[in-house]
Amino acid sequence: DIAYYNNENGAIEENPGNLIATPTGYESQSDEQTVYIRVTDPTSPRECFNIVPVELRVDPLPDIINPERISVCDDETGGSTTNEQATFDLTSKIEEITQGDQTILINFYEDEALENQITDTENFVNTQANPQVVYVEAVDLDTDCTKTTTLTIEVIPEPTIPELDPLVECDPGNNGFAEFDLGTEIENIISNEVDVEISFHETEQEAFFG
């Protein structure tokens, strides 16, 4: 026969007050605790027994935080800048999640069951509805305890700019120069877009890099 006790004397004396009635669902009383297993030979005339101590230790889960979402502009991934697909560097969030703790390993998954692990974490292309939830597993390298959280990745569509007609002004000085009111095109440029800002630049490079 096998019985479990939270006290050594209780195990020796078979004290019911120290008996662990449900050993398959026992909740420890501290982060470090010893319980005692009493093994009795029922076939022995004197019911001989032995006491075996078992140490219970509770390790903390990895100390991580829920990361802010990653938002990037739609790019040429997938051959189009309008398909709401882009490339994400998931590793850029590791330090934020672990708060710089080098003893925590971070794995990324596409599914909540943590079965479809993302292998190329520096060049991950979103594969589901935009925005997409990526599942994060944190593993404590010292204890193997794990904790999960989520990371939302979002592709922001590029503003749609229509083809514009050339602006034409007369040349008052007959020197190839004229004054243009570029602001008259803002309404045509914005079209149906909302929450956008318009700026004008003399070169394409300046327009791209501000």
d(C-alpha 104, C-alpha 149), whole Å: 14
pTM reported for the whole predicted model:
0.70
pLDDT the model gives residue 209? 72
Question: What is the distance of C-alpha 31 from the center of its chain?
Answer: 28
pLDDT, tens digit, for every residue of 41-72? Answer: 988 888 899 999 999 999 999 999 999 999 99
Percent share of the chain, pLDDT over 70:
98
Paired sense of beta strands 132-140 and 146-156, if any: antiparallel
Spell out the residues 6+ positions from residue 72 whose beta carbon is closer than 8 angstroms to its own: 86, 87, 88, 153, 154, 155, 156
Burial of 107 (0-12, 13-18, 19+ CB in 10 A): middle
Token pair for 104: 């925590």
Lowest mean pLDDT among 95-109, 121-135, 165-179, 184-198: 184-198
Nearest to 1 by CA among 57, 63, 31, 44: 44
- The radius of gyration of the chain's CA atoms, rounded to the nearest angstrom, is 33
pLDDT, tens digit, for every residue of 80-137? Answer: 777 889 999 999 999 999 999 999 999 999 999 999 999 999 999 998 889 999 999 9
pLDDT the model gives residue 193? 65
Nearest to 135 by CA among 166, 161, 114: 114
Spatial contact of 78 and 104, defined as CB atoms under 8 Å apart: no
pLDDT at 30 over 80: yes
pLDDT the model gives residue 199? 85
